Amino acid sequence: MNNTKYVFVTGGVTSSLGKGIIAASLAKLLQVRGYSVTIQKLDPYINIDPGTLNPYEHGECYVTNDGAETDLDLGHYERFLNIPTSQANNVTTGRIYQSVIDKERRGDFLGKTVQVIPHITNEIKERIQLLGKTGKFDIVITEIGGTVGDIESLPYIEAVRQLEWELGKENAIVIHLTLIPYLAAAGELKTKPTQHSVKMLMQSGVNPDILVCRTEHHLSESIKRKLALFCNVKQEDVIESIDADTIYDVPVFMQNEGLDKVVLKKLNLNADTEPDLSKWNNFLSKHKNPKHAVEIGLIGKYVELKDAYKSISESFIHAGSSQEIKVNIHWIHSEELTPTNAAEKLKNLNGVIVAPGFGERGIEGKISAVQYVRENKIPFLGICLGMQMAVIEFARNVIGLKDANSTEMNPATEFSVISLMEAQKNISNMGGTMRLGAWDCKLSKNSKVYNAYQTEMISERHRHRYEFNNKYLDQITNAGMKISGINPKTSLVEIIEIPDHPWFVGVQYHPEYKSTVLNPHPLFVAFVKACLENS
Ligand code: GLN
C-alpha cells in the first residue's frame, strides 16, 4: 500500500476545542469502514517530550509500548482505535530542532545555512510521512497542536501547505476545527471569529477543506451557508460538532453529520459502505444506562487538574460500562489526608485507588490512606507510586520497620524498601533514567491478578525510576504480603497483593495506559467488581 492519504487537523479561535477527540472520532469512523488509520500529534513546544512537564502544565504524560513519553491525546487515539501508537505518533518542536541540529553538527547540510525554511519544514514533512511510509496505513490523521495564528505553529502550517501541494488535493486535506460562540445577550451564534481564523490560515496559503464547528447550539442552515460563503468551503463541508455529554458520543455525532463521508469523498476513497458502530454503541448504551454505582476515592496530589489522571478516569469508564456500573470518582488530595482524618474521609467509599506520582509532596497522606483501607478491608488498587506506598506502609505498620521509605523521598532512610537499582545510580539526566514502556511480567497462578487476567504472561507499560528492593523480599513475604507478578528477566517485583484482604493489589506498572473502549483493562474490571461487592 503506497498511496497513503493525509488528513490534517488544525484548530482556530481558542485552544481546548477537542482536536484530539475529533481526530480520534474521524479515525474510528474510517476504521469501522475497513480503512487502516493512525493518528499523529505534532506539538509546537520546545520540550523534547512531555516527560519532563509538570502534570499541572499539560495533564498526564501518556506512555506507549515503545517507551515514548507522549501527549495525553495519544491515549485517546488508543482508547478509540484499540491499536497501539508509538514514538512516531508524537513529535514536538524540540524534537524537530534537535534532529536538525544533530544533522547540522554531522555536516549533513554540506555547508548550507540552516534555516526554518526549508530545513525545519522539511524535517516536519518527513516526520509527518514517516507513518505513511511504513505502508501500514491507508490514512494518517495529523493533529497540529496549538491554535492557528500562534507564532510557534507557523512552520507546521507551512509544512502542511507544501505537503498539500506536493501530494495533491486528493491525497491531503485540511480539517479546521473552530468555535462558534453563542452570545446569550444577543441570543445569537457568531461566525466572525471563525471567519478570522480561516482568513489567518489562508494568509499562510492553506485553504481548509472542511470546517468542524464546536457549538453549544445547533447550527441552522443559514449559519452553515454563511460560514461556507465566507470561509470558501461548500455548505456540506461545514460540520456541526455540538457539545456532548461524553467524548464517546462524538464518533456517533460525527457519523450523523457525515464527517467521514465528506472526508472520503475529498480523498477519492470509497464511501459506499456504512460504518458499523454496533460494538461502540453497545459500549455507549451500557455506559449511559448503568444498573449499579460504586464510589471510588482517587488519592493523588494533582487532583485539582483531572487531566493529570486522564487514563485512569477513562479506564474506569471502560471497566464500569462492561459491568454496567457507574463509577463515581471522588478526588481526594493526598496532602489533606492524615492518620487522624483518613477514616472520616474514606469511610463511605467502596474502594480506593492511590495514584502514580513523583516526589515527596503528599506521600504521607497516601500512606495513611493505604493503612486505613488495608486495616478496614476496603478494596485497594495502587498504581506505580501507589504500589510503592503500599509496600512502605506494610513495612512500617505490619513489620515494624519504623520510617521505612523510598530513597526517592528519603535517601538516608534506614529501611529502603523502595530504591534505585544499582545500574541506575549514576545517571543524572532527568529524561532517560526511567524504566519506560512495555515489560513482561509473569503472574503467580494463585492470585487476584491471575484471576483478573486469566493468563500467566502479561506485558504492561512502565514509567518509574524506583523499584521494590529485593533485599526486603523475604521479610515482606513472611509477614503476609504476596508477590504475585515478577519480571521474568530481571526478577524485579511488579505486583504485590495481600491475600488476607478482599482485594488489595499494587502494581509497579500503569494498567491505565492499555484500557480501551473495546478492551476494558482486566485489573480495572476486577477492581470495580470488588468495589461493587463492597457496596
Ligand atoms: N516516583 C516513583 C518512581 O519514580 C513512581 C513513579 C510513578 O508513579 N509513575 O519510581
Q: What does the pLDDT profile of the chain (535 residues) look like in tens digits?
A: 468 999 999 999 999 899 999 999 999 999 999 999 999 999 999 999 988 888 888 899 999 999 999 999 999 999 999 999 999 999 999 999 999 999 999 999 999 999 999 999 999 999 999 999 999 999 999 999 999 999 999 999 999 999 999 999 999 999 999 999 999 999 999 999 999 999 999 999 999 999 999 999 999 999 999 999 999 999 999 999 999 999 999 999 999 999 999 999 999 999 988 889 999 999 999 999 999 999 999 999 999 999 999 999 999 999 999 999 999 999 999 999 999 999 999 999 999 999 999 999 999 999 999 999 999 999 999 999 999 999 999 999 999 999 999 999 999 999 999 999 766 555 555 555 799 999 999 999 999 999 999 999 999 999 999 999 999 999 999 999 999 999 999 999 999 999 999 999 999 999 999 999 999 999 999 999 999 999 9
- CB of 466 shorter than 6 A to ligand 1: yes
**Predicted TM-score of the model (pTM):** 0.95
Buried b / exposed e across 31-61, counting CB within 10 Å, b at 16+? bbbebebbbbbbbbbebbbbbeeebeebbbb
- Identity of residue 248: Y
Ligand 1, residues 408, 421, 510: which to mutate, most atoms within 8 A of Cβ? 408
> What separation in Å is there between the alpha carbon of 317 and the centre of ligand 1?
24
Nearest ligand 1 atom to the CA of 359 is 1
Q: Give me Rg for the CA atoms of the chain.
A: 25
| CA nearest ligand 1 atom 5, residue | 385
> What separation in Å is there between the alpha carbon of 388 and the centre of ligand 1?
8
Say how far apart CA 452 and CA 521 lie, in whole Å: 9
Cell of 239: 460540520
- pLDDT of 430: 52
| CA nearest ligand 1 atom 6, residue | 464
Residues annotated as part of the active site: 384, 510, 512
| CB-based contact 405:456 (threshold 8 Å) | no
Say how far apart CA 99 and CA 105 lie, in whole Å: 10
| CA nearest ligand 1 atom 8, residue | 356
In DSSP notation, 166-209 reads HH-TTTEEEEEEEE--EETTTTEE--HHHHHHHHHHHHTT---S
Helix (H, G, I), strand (E, B) or coil at 213: strand
* 375: Cα separation from own chain's centroid: 33
Upstream peptide bond of 118 is cis (omega within 30 degrees of 0): yes
Q: Which of 325, 241, 245, 329 is nearest to 286 (CA)?
A: 325
Nearest ligand 1 atom to the CA of 355 is 8
Ligand 1, residues 388, 462, 492, 507: which to mutate, most atoms within 8 A of Cβ? 388
